[in-house]
Structure 1
């Protein structure tokens, strides 16, 4: 199917579940929250996507896609750290959303270097049009991450300030 190995097909299926849960969490909750069911499914399917990706060597040995898998696992690990700093929830939100962007890089590459069948949109990972597309997608994610942080800050502020008496 589309030139995928059995491992590639399993990897793709797990990755699609992660994407559905990641985007579902963003749309439903405004963020990926690993304390909620959809966030937990996102976390574990993202881990499995990375792990299964390590066994795929369609483009030779260890490559940028494998490095992105390692980076994704590191960012997930960082996002799970239980730091108590006041700014940490904002960083965690950005880290979770960043992992969703990381899914998009190989997703766009592998999808559009294969489809449409017989006339793929991009010639390969180094195609300047693909790189521009990934850059544009990152721009959208940067806006989403900024909106998430602003929304969190707005929610963290008290709805009304205590009234000071002048007496």
Structure 2
């Protein structure tokens, strides 16, 4: 019917739960981070989604989807590192919140692509992974990501402790 392998189903289910966890973290805690259960679920489920994606070869050999999986793992690592380095705010805190948002956005690229080349069954919305019509939903998701990233950076900047000058005058 949808032509998805068992590994593809596991990959898809992990990704869907990761997206829900990411939005739960954003709504409940105003950010995705490892301090919340939903943030940790997003992190680990996104990592598992990226790893399982490396073993799916529906569109031939190693390709763009595999590069996206590797980029996702790199962005998660950068977010984790930024979170450790930026516990009290500053540049690394900004890196962490934006990295996690990028990882959330990355879910939407294959999510829209793989869904829209399969549904509606028998007459899919897009003809294949190169169909220009896919730019519309992915572009819209990118605009939402940009707005969320600006919001996150401004929010973190506002919450960051101000540098206090302790020098004697």
What TM-score, normalized by structure 1, do the two folds share? Answer: 0.89
Equivalent-residue separation in structure 1 for 2:122 and 2:98 (angstroms): 38
Equivalent-residue separation in structure 2 for 1:37 and 1:94 (angstroms): 19
**Are 1:131 and 2:168 counterparts?**
no
Equivalent-residue separation in structure 1 for 2:63 and 2:127 (angstroms): 17
Equivalent-residue separation in structure 2 for 1:89 and 1:6 (angstroms): 38
Equivalent-residue separation in structure 2 for 1:122 and 1:24 (angstroms): 30
Q: How do 1:148-159 residues align onto structure 2 when only pairs under 5 Å count?
A: 148-156=152-160
Alignment RMSD: 1.5
**Are 1:77 and 2:81 counterparts?**
no
Structure 1 gaps, min length 5: 159-167
Equivalent-residue separation in structure 1 for 2:49 and 2:63 (angstroms): 16
Equivalent-residue separation in structure 1 for 2:29 and 2:149 (angstroms): 13
Aligned position for 1:165? none
Aligned position for 2:167? none
Number of residue-to-residue matches in the alignment: 158
Please tell me whether the aligned partners of residues 18 and 46 of structure 1 are also in contact (alpha carbons under 8 angstroms): yes
Equivalent-residue separation in structure 1 for 2:161 and 2:140 (angstroms): 32
Equivalent-residue separation in structure 2 for 1:77 and 1:155 (angstroms): 23
The alpha-carbon deviation at position 157 of structure 1 amounts to: 5.9
Aligned position for 2:165? none
Q: How do 1:48-63 residues align onto structure 2 when only pairs under 5 Å count?
A: 48-63=48-63
Please tell me whether the aligned partners of residues 90 and 160 of structure 2 are also in contact (alpha carbons under 8 angstroms): no
Larger Rg: 1
Structure 2 gaps, min length 5: 163-169
Secondary structure class of the residue paired with 1:80: helix
Which of 87, 92, 96 lines up with 2:96 in the alignment? Answer: 92
The alpha-carbon deviation at position 69 of structure 1 amounts to: 0.2
